[in-house]
């Protein structure tokens, strides 16, 4: 354990596990006593607790039964939290060491375990380790103390299921959540997965039926999949537009879909919307890079401006002012 924590310290370049003398955990005991120290472990019987016995000497570790503890106040650690938030996928092992340290406290009130685990899982997912990420998210969803943490793990778990190749399972769960979920983040992730399913089915259909327009049996299915994917990709930007990441992600996928189906006008307009509305996001950078590859004449086209001009009411001619005759 200590080696793992030292690795976390070295890789993340900060005092992630060390605490200042004032930053101590506090155990509230059933006899009214408070004990300040550092919780180093937990099991079914009780807590391992480091306490200072002699000033200047290493702390002693004592065991305090669970039945004697009524409440725990975990010491804050801003340096650790900041470093975790800034960690990159390359630093996932260091965050993983912290997850190993804190996972046993996952079910305890106000422990930082779920927050650390969510970040660790996200880094694993971003680094292409979907199976490992899925295991982390499932532990949080099933064992975290706070409902907010369990809810936060659900959309990541869906994403990890898809990335791990368990698409059918992800689709089934996404359809259930799309009907009953009330959490906007969960709902947006469920709809995005369903949009991706429709998108993939549409692409396969077009590959198998290049002359779909001439086939009366294929054409309705093509239109159904197309409109289903478009509606679901648009959902975050239409109903939760202030959430830049999911909104930009949906619009970014929509640009790719429009390009696939030959809707050049919609693709360009949507790419411009991403760049304007959600600058700084990855989809905005991708959209801007694609626009830059278009010809200068194409970039000058503004169909929205032309449409507004076409539907604008005709300007009324002003009648010349007539001089009033002096009486």
Give the model confidence (pLDDT) of 24-70 as tens digits. Answer: 999 999 999 999 999 988 888 899 999 887 777 888 899 999 999 99
Distance CA 159, CA 136 (A): 13
| Residue 20 confidence (pLDDT) above 70 | no
pTM of the entire predicted model: 0.74
According to the model, what pLDDT value does residue 299 have? 85
Beta partners for 71? Answer: 28
| Residue 18 confidence (pLDDT) above 50 | no
Distance CA 218, CA 103 (A): 51
Per cent of the chain over pLDDT 90 is 72
pLDDT in tens, 208-246: 999 999 999 999 999 999 999 999 999 999 999 999 999
Residue 268 and residue 255 in contact, taking contact as beta carbons nearer than 8 Å: no
* Tokens matching residue 28: 């509230």
According to the model, what pLDDT value does residue 242 have? 95
According to the model, what pLDDT value does residue 216 have? 95
According to the model, what pLDDT value does residue 16 have? 42
pLDDT in tens, 91-122: 999 999 999 999 999 999 989 999 999 999 99
Distance CA 152, CA 150 (A): 5
Q: The tokens 């725990």 sit on which residue?
A: 72
- Top pLDDT among 305 and 74 is at 74
| Residue 152 confidence (pLDDT) above 70 | yes
According to the model, what pLDDT value does residue 97 have? 95
According to the model, what pLDDT value does residue 9 have? 46
Is the backbone of residue 94 left (phi > 0), alpha (psi -120 to 50) or beta?
alpha
Q: What is the mean pLDDT of the chain?
A: 88
Distance CA 80, CA 305 (A): 50
Residue 65 and residue 46 in contact, taking contact as beta carbons nearer than 8 Å: yes
CB contact set of 82 (below 8 Å; sequence gap of 6+): 14
Per residue, the 3-state secondary structure of 207-266, as one string, reads HHCCCHHHCCCCHHHHHHHHHHHHHHHHHHHHHCCCCHHHHHHHHHHHHHHHHHCCCHHH
Walk across the sheet containing 46-51 and list its strands: 60-65, 46-51, 34-42, 25-29, 69-73
Report residue 323's pLDDT band, with 50, 70 and 90 as the boundaries: low
CB contact set of 97 (below 8 Å; sequence gap of 6+): 4, 5, 7, 8
């Amino acid at each position: 354990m200590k080696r793992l924590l030292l690795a976390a310290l070295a890789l993340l370049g900060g005092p992630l596990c060390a605490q200042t003398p004032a930053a101590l955990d506090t155990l509230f005991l059933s006899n009214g006593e408070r004990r300040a120290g550092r919780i180093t472990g937990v099991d079914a019987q009780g807590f391992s607790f480091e306490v200072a016995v002699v000033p200047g000497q290493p702390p002693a570790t004592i065991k305090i039964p669970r039945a004697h503890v009524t409440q725990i106040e975990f010491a804050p650690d801003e340096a650790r939290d900041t470093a975790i938030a800034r960690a990159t996928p390359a630093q996932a092992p260091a965050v993983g060491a912290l997850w190993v340290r804190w996972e046993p406290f996952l079910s305890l009130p106000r422990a930082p375990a779920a927050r650390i685990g969510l970040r660790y899982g996200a880094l694993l997912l971003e680094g292409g380790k979907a199976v490992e990420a899925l295991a982390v998210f499932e532990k949080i969803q099933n064992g975290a103390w706070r409902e907010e943490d369990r809810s936060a793990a659900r959309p990541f778990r869906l994403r990890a299921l898809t990335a791990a190749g368990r698409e059918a399972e992800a689709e089934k769960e996404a359809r259930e959540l799309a009907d009953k979920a009330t959490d906007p983040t969960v709902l947006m992730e469920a709809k995005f997965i369903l949009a991706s399913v429709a998108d993939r089915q549409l692409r396969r259909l077009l590959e198998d039926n290049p002359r779909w327009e001439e086939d009366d049996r294929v054409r309705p299915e093509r239109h159904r999949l197309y409109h289903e994917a478009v509606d679901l990709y648009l959902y975050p930007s239409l109903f939760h537009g202030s959430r830049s990441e999911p909104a930009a992600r949906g619009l970014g996928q929509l640009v790719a879909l429009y390009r696939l189906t030959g809707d050049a006008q919609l693709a360009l307009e949507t790419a411009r919307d991403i760049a304007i509305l959600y600058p700084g996001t990855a989809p905005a950078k991708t959209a801007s890079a694609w626009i830059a590859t278009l010809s200068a004449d194409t970039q000058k086209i503004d169909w929205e401006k032309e449409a507004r001009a076409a539907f604008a009411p005709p300007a009324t001619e002003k009648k010349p002012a007539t001089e009033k005759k002096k009486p």
